[in-house]
Amino acid sequence: MKLNWTPKKAATAISAYMVGLFFIYPYINMILTSLKPHGELYATPTTRLPKSWQFDNYLDVWAAAPIADFLTASVVVSICATLLVLIVSVPAAYYVARNRFRGRSAFLLLVLATQMFSPTALIIGIFREVKFFGLLDTWPALIVVNAGFNLAFAVWLLSGFFASVPVEIEEAAMVDGCTRFQALRRIVLPVTLPGLVTAVIFTFVATWNEFTVALTIISSPSRQPISTGITTFVGQYDVAWEYLFTTTAIAIVPVVILFISIEKYLVGGLTAGSVK
Amino acid sequence: MGGNKVKNRRPANSVISALPWIGPAILLILLVVVWPAIELIRISLTKITSAGALEGFNGLGNYRLLFENPDLKTIAIRTVTWVLSVVFLTVIISLPLAQLINQNFPGRKFVRWAMIVPWAASVVMTSIIWKWMLELTSGEFNLTLRQLGLQDGQPVDWLRDPRYSFFVLIWVAVFVSIPFTTFVILAGLQSIPHDIIEAAQVDGASSWQVYRGIKFPLLRNSLLIATIINLINVFNSFPIIWALTRGGPGYNTDTTTTFAYKMAFVEYNMGPSTALGVINFGFIMLIVLIYLRVTKATRDQA
């Protein structure tokens, strides 16, 4: 970009930087607090930067709280929910993109409607269903519920990608002796890879951040994912903010990087083809 | 995306041949969305003990109990205030922000990345960070006010002072809703063809005239979608309130969403809670139907 600084352009740039700073400031504050020794948290006068930088907080926190357990739960649940979403959404999205069939619009409406629901409104029904299956306080329940509520995003996004692959290329492959499944795997999937990556990351991050369902169906501290696990810090009389924030930093930074990597496709998937 | 869908489709098939492909998705939706919805409605018409045991059909008894609750009216009014003010503020602030990050300036990519952070980060965690920043003595917020000379004497306890706590919740909800909304509007701005704008500029239109006369009308669809999705998200917004105030003190910052949860899982007052759950669900259904209607035109074009 050529830099021809006019006052107007400078004003635009400076206001944009301030907006950007404003939206990450809480997270900067989080990281700065995570690097303070406990004694500095409530010290007067308050300082923004730590007076002695306590990088050891990031080592000590593993012993101070069961965050290894929390992270294991989050990783396992998020990966399994993502896999389940992929297994279920890829065939559905492909078929919908390629075929007309009776009930096609009804199916698409059903998917679109579920995208708009969050588990919060249905939480009592979800709790009772999970209890009915004897799965309270288990990861499988959390995995299936998260997969169900994130399915719609993947189906919509992927069907758009599948529809953009010309059917002729695929048919040519089938003429050359590929089965339909082989054509899907060798021809279509590589082209739609950005869509798959987006669906994977989106589902992973959404499950990683999910709070209400985890709060309701997971009761054992050792089985909690990080999103509900961190709230156990807050209830205590003397909140160990420095450890709380090392934990949230560990939980937030990776998913932010993942999310930024799919920026381009996020809006399209979330608004389900309604914003052109 | 998907411009030549119709050409790519094969002739119509029966729903039976579609089932192996879409069946698993339908099954998952039935299991995770439809079953809980039916269960919720069923329980709301059933007499249920605090331990969750069912004691037969109860007609509208649970609903009667709910409407006899003296706190319900205030909570309902607060919910409407909460949803409307958060969504209104979010959209009003996001409009100029989208316009801003659509401009050309060095480092634009980084500003956009910064704006994604609150969208990507867990809402509970963001709420807890705000809780710390709003701390009475050492929080960033009061510290800044002191340093700017805007606060002398007693610092304000933003979260515990009933005069402020609800506004703080609104503020945090707006903060986490802006990024998504801004990006939806940005996508709308980016889809406006360049030549239309250039033609207007050649004709001597000022940048405000271009925005007001060309861009804003073309943003109608994006704005509508962003508003509807926000309405649902904010109505459902449980983590912010739960992390910051738990709806308290008392029921002072509860919305119908947190109130239903509190009755069910804190007070074990299952009956009225399921009745309120059904009403909440019905409200969301209504917005979803509006959404499906509004987006139908664009979907039919696709």
Per-domain residue ranges of chain B = 72-253
CATH number of the domain that residue A132 is part of? 1.10.3720.10
* Inside any domain, residue A235: yes
pLDDT at A2: 56
For the domain made up of B72-253, the CATH class stated in words is: mainly alpha
Q: How many CA atoms lie within 13 A of A55 on its CB side?
A: 0
Three-state DSSP class for residue A99: strand
What one-letter code names the amino acid at A28? I
* Inside any domain, residue A38: no
Q: How many domains does the structure of chain A reveal?
A: 1
* Inside any domain, residue A151: yes
* Inside any domain, residue A110: yes
In A, which residues are within 8 Å of B118 by CB distance? 23, 26
pLDDT over 50 at A275, yes or no: no
Query: Rounded CA gap, A180 and A193, in Å?
Result: 18
Tell me the mean pLDDT in the region B277-287: 93
* Inside any domain, residue A111: yes
pLDDT in tens, B40-84: 999 999 998 888 888 888 889 999 999 999 999 999 999 999 999
Alpha helix (H) ranges present in chain A?
7-34, 57-64, 67-98, 104-116, 123-132, 139-163, 167-175, 180-183, 189-191, 193-209, 212-217, 226-229, 231-234, 241-261, 263-270
* Inside any domain, residue A164: yes
In B, which residues are within 8 Å of A245 by CB distance? 129, 132
* Inside any domain, residue A20: no
pLDDT at A235: 66
Interchain CB contact of A222 with B (< 8 Å) = no
Range of the domain at A217: 65-270
* Inside any domain, residue A33: no
More confident position, B162 or A225: A225
The pTM (predicted TM-score) of the whole model is: 0.90
Query: Rounded CA gap, A148 and B189, in Å?
Result: 32
pLDDT at A7: 86
pLDDT in tens, B108-155: 999 999 999 999 999 999 999 999 999 887 888 888 888 888 877 788
Instruction: Select the residue of B26, B103, B133 nearest A29 (Cβ to Cβ).
Output: B133
pLDDT at A14: 95
This complex has an ipTM of 0.91
Q: Would you tell me which residues 32-51 of chain A have a C-beta closer than 8 angstroms to some C-beta of chain B?
A: 33, 41-44, 46, 48
CB atoms A145 and B105 under 8 Å: no
In B, which residues are within 8 Å of A128 by CB distance? 36, 39, 43, 52
Tell me the mean pLDDT in the region B177-183: 95
pLDDT in tens, A89-141: 999 999 999 888 888 888 988 888 888 888 998 999 999 999 999 999 999 99
What one-letter code names the amino acid at B285? M
Closest residue in B to A18 (Cα–Cα): B111
Interchain CB contact of B230 with A (< 8 Å) = no
Query: Rounded CA gap, A243 and B264, in Å?
Result: 32
**How far apart are the CA of A244 and the nearest CA of chain B, in angstroms?**
9
pLDDT over 50 at A25, yes or no: yes
